[in-house]
Amino acid sequence: GALDEDGRAAVRGAHVGFVFQSFHLIPSLSALENVMLPLELADRPDAREAAAKALEEVGLAARRAHYPRQLSGGEQQRVAIARAFVARPRLLFADEPTGNLDAATGERVADLLFGLNRNAGSTLVLVTHDRALAVRSQRVLELDAGRRVR
């Protein structure tokens, strides 16, 4: 049968992760608390430990008490990636994940994103205008005005 809004939210929370171009971190929460959030919403008793491990995986264990305003753009995106992967989603949507970063930082973040995705065995749906990023994917669909071109 059809899922109600709460049911759809539960499926998204349990099986889907999101990484946005503009990070979407909560300014009043530390890096650790931002990563813990999806686990706390799912009532996971191991939220703190899992979030700490996720921050370690993205190289930010030492910055876990810092707030988003105290982090660089690359560090904020790494926190967002840790938050997206912390619940081990089957499906990850990444919308221009390197769009707000300089080239060198963007490349490091992309390496991290693809590496974590490979290790998690999840499906990554990546939206990008960056051809160098797109060609790293197994399958590329090119769209123009919402229509498939290739």
Task: Give pLDDT tens digits along the chain (150 positions).
Answer: 787 887 777 667 667 889 988 899 999 999 999 999 999 988 999 999 999 999 999 999 999 999 999 999 999 999 999 999 999 899 999 999 998 888 998 998 899 999 989 988 899 999 999 988 999 988 888 888 889 987
**All structural domains of the chain:** 5-148 (3.40.50.300)
Residue among 79, 84, 77 nearest 107 (CA): 77
Q: Sheet holding 123-127: strands in order across? A: 16-19, 91-95, 123-127
For the chain, helix, strand, coil in percent to 5 are: 50, 10, 40
pTM of the predicted protein model:
0.86
Give residues with Cβ within 8 angstroms of 64, minimum separation 6: 30, 31, 32, 52, 55
